[in-house]
Homo-oligomer: A and B are copies of this chain.
Amino acid sequence: MSRRRDTMRLGAFLYPGGHHVAAWRHPSSQADAGIDPAHYRRLAKVAEAAKFDLIFLADGVSIRGDDIDALSRTAIRYVGQFEPLTLLSHLSAVTERIGLVATASTTYNEPFHVARKFASLDHLSGGRAGWNLVTSADPREAYNFSRDSHLAHARRYARAEEFVDVVAGLWDTFEDDAFVRDREEGRFFDPAKLHVLGHEGEHFSVRGPLNVPRPPQGHPVVVQAGSSEAGKALAARTAEVIFTAQATLEDATAFYADVKGRLGRHGREPDALKILPGAFPVVGRTQAEAEDKYGALQELIHPVVGRSLLEQLAGLDLSGHPDDAPVPEASGTEGGKSRQDLLVTIARREGLTIRELYLRIAGARGHWTLIGTPARIADALQERFEAYGADGFNIMPPTLPGGLDDFATLVIPELQRRGLFRTEYEGTTLRENLGLQRPRHRRHAASRAP
| Chain B residues, CB < 8 A from A85 | 85-86, 89, 117
Q: Is the CB of B144 within 8 A of A86?
A: no
Encode contact with B along A190-216: 1 for CB under 8 Å, 0 otherwise: 110010000000011111110111000
The residues of B that contact A31 with a CB separation of less than 8 Å are 181, 183, 188
A350 at the interface (CB under 8 A from B): no
Q: Distance in Å from the Cβ of A38 to the closest Cβ of chain B?
A: 10
Chain A residues 139 to 173 lying within 8 A of chain B, measured CB to CB, are: 140, 143-146
- Residues from chain B with a CB closer than 8 A to the CB of A116 are 61, 83
A225 interfacial by beta-carbon distance below 8 Å:
no
CB contacts (< 8 Å) of A209 on chain B: these are: 63
Please tell me if the beta carbons of A82 and B124 are within 8 angstroms of each other in the complex.
yes
Taking CB atoms and an 8 Å cut-off, the chain A residues in 202-240 that contact chain B are 203-209, 211-213
CB contacts (< 8 Å) of A208 on chain B: these are 144
- Give chain B nearest CB distance to A422 CB in angstroms: 25
The residue among A31, A71, A73, A83 with the most chain B CB atoms within 10 A of its own CB is A83
When each residue 77-96 of chain A gets 1 if its CB lies under 8 Å from chain B and 0 otherwise, what string results? 01111110111011111100
State how many angstroms separate the Cβ of A66 from the closest Cβ of chain B: 6
* Contact A145-B79, Cβ < 8 Å, known A24-B181, A85-B86, A116-B61: no
Are A86 and B37 closer than 8 Å at their CB atoms? no
Stoichiometry, as copies per complex, reads: 2
Q: Which residues of chain B have C-beta atoms less than 8 A from A91's C-beta?
A: 93
* Nearest CB on B from A446, distance (A): 13
Query: Which residue in B66, B75, B179 is a CB contact (below 8 Å) of A80?
Result: B179
Closest Cβ of chain B to A171, distance in Å, is: 13
Q: Is A313 an interface residue (CB 8 A)?
A: no
A206 to B82, CA, bound (A): 20
- Once the chains bind, are A450 and B93 in contact (CB under 8 Å)? no
Q: Which residues of B contact A140 (CB under 8 A)?
A: 207, 450
Q: Is the CB of B24 within 8 A of A79?
A: no
Residues of chain B within 8 A of A108, CB atoms compared: 110
The residue among A41, A66, A86, A120 with the most chain B CB atoms within 10 A of its own CB is: A86
Kindly list chain B residues whose C-beta atoms are within 8 Å of the C-beta of A179. 32, 80
Nearest-neighbour CB distance to chain B for A251, whole angstroms, equals: 31
CA distance A68 to B196 in the complex (A): 11
Contact: A211 with B80, CB < 8 Å?
Answer: yes
Contact (Cβ within 8 A) A188 B79:
yes
The contact of A174 among B60, B74, B80, B203, by CB within 8 Å, is: B80
Name A204's closest neighbour in chain B (CB-CB). B146
Going nearest first, the 8 A-B pairs with the smallest beta carbon separation are A89-B89, A93-B93, A143-B207, A83-B120, A86-B89, A31-B181, A68-B449, A72-B191
11 contacts between A and B (CB under 8 A): A24-B183, A34-B213, A41-B93, A60-B211, A74-B188, A79-B188, A80-B211, A109-B113, A113-B113, A143-B205, A144-B208
Given contacts A24-B188, A86-B124, 6 further A-B contacts (CB under 8 A): A31-B183, A69-B191, A72-B190, A80-B211, A86-B89, A145-B206
